[in-house]
Structure 1
Amino acid sequence: MKIYTFETKQQIPLSLNEAWDFFSDPNQLSEITPSWMGFEVKDVPPQNMYPGMIISYQLKPLYGIKLNWVTEITHVSAPHYFVDEQRFGPYKFWHHQHHFKETNNGTEMNDIVHYALPFAIVGRIVHRLNVEKKLNAIFQYRKNKLNKLFG
């Protein structure tokens, strides 16, 4: 199994607590995800984030085909980081770390994603042709959207 790593950092002009409140709310994901993904939060408990929390989504990552995606929040240390891991969905493996660090200009957000695709060599080809580009596009959209929302 080939495990890929994607990492991005962004400075956001919010206090650490404001950034945490925004990013730890799964309902905000639709706001910062490109519309072509057809991303919709289907089921999230109405409580603050906690380890063991299960969140269900529906998305259309390829050719408009609807997929269900279920993640579990496995680690939480408010307001510094949380980790979500796929339990059911399009990846063979998905581990997404969200780190927040207070700076003089607000909060630095660092996303670290480790992921693997199914189907061995076919998955590697699909990664090179499609998945890698889409992940870059999704996180670039997120950066641009956050800049519009928060300056």
Structure 2
Amino acid sequence: MIFTFENKQFIKSDLKTVWNYFSNPKHINALTPPEMHFKTLTENLPTQIHKDQVITYWVSPLFQIPMKWKTKIISVENEKSFIDIQIKGPYKKWHHLHTFEKIKDGILMTDLITYELPFGYLGNLVHRILVKEKIEELFEFRTKQIQKHFENE
């Protein structure tokens, strides 16, 4: 079964500042809860993502079990959007669209994730019991971190 998750957040800032922050792959560590033990393994990351860029991480999404997560940037529209997909990791499929829209007094940032778990019916059960809640918690944490960061700008 394919699942979707959407998160929208208003950021009181200008488009260039918001884009420069989110398109810098070095900032993802600060946006991930500490209990996930997230660590970027790819060295010498540029300060801006680009199409076909591959980034590898260590992450412990469930039960403190570490695993490699490899993502690829498949699309970048400067100051508008980018898409990352999972090449290797805990999901059968992971497609994450990030969009940035200038609105009155700031930016509306939207994350739209389409994902699928492995193991068929068992994966769907684990989604209902655990994974859905973990994704929601991740974005609650991320929302707070983003709010703090841009309040201090």
Any unmatched runs of 5+ in structure 1? none
2:125 match? 125
* Aligned pairs for 1:77-88 within 5 A: 77-88=77-88
Percent identity between the two aligned chains: 37
**1:84-121, Cα deviation, whole Å (9 max, x unpaired):** 00000000000000000111221110000000000001
Q: Is the CA contact (8 Å cut-off) linking 1:4 and 1:114 kept in structure 2?
A: yes
Q: Is the CA contact (8 Å cut-off) linking 1:81 and 1:98 kept in structure 2?
A: yes
Q: Is the CA contact (8 Å cut-off) linking 1:70 and 1:88 kept in structure 2?
A: yes
Structure 1 counterpart SS, 2:55 = strand
Structure 1 counterpart SS, 2:91 = coil
2:21 match? 22
1:50 match? 50
Number of equivalent positions: 150
- What TM-score does the superposition give when structure 2 sets the normalisation length? 0.95
- Structure 1 position 46, deviation (Å): 2.2
Aligned equivalents of 1:103, 1:21: Cα separation in 2: 17
* Aligned pairs for 1:128-147 within 5 A: 128-147=128-147
Q: Tell me which protein shows more strand as a share of its residues.
A: 1
* Aligned pairs for 1:107-118 within 5 A: 107-118=107-118
Q: Is the CA contact (8 Å cut-off) linking 1:11 and 1:105 kept in structure 2?
A: no
Any unmatched runs of 5+ in structure 2? none
**1:12-33, Cα deviation, whole Å (9 max, x unpaired):** 1121111110001111011111
1:13 match? 12
Q: Which amino acid aligns with 2:36?
A: M
Runs of 4+ in 1 over 6 A off after TM superposition: none
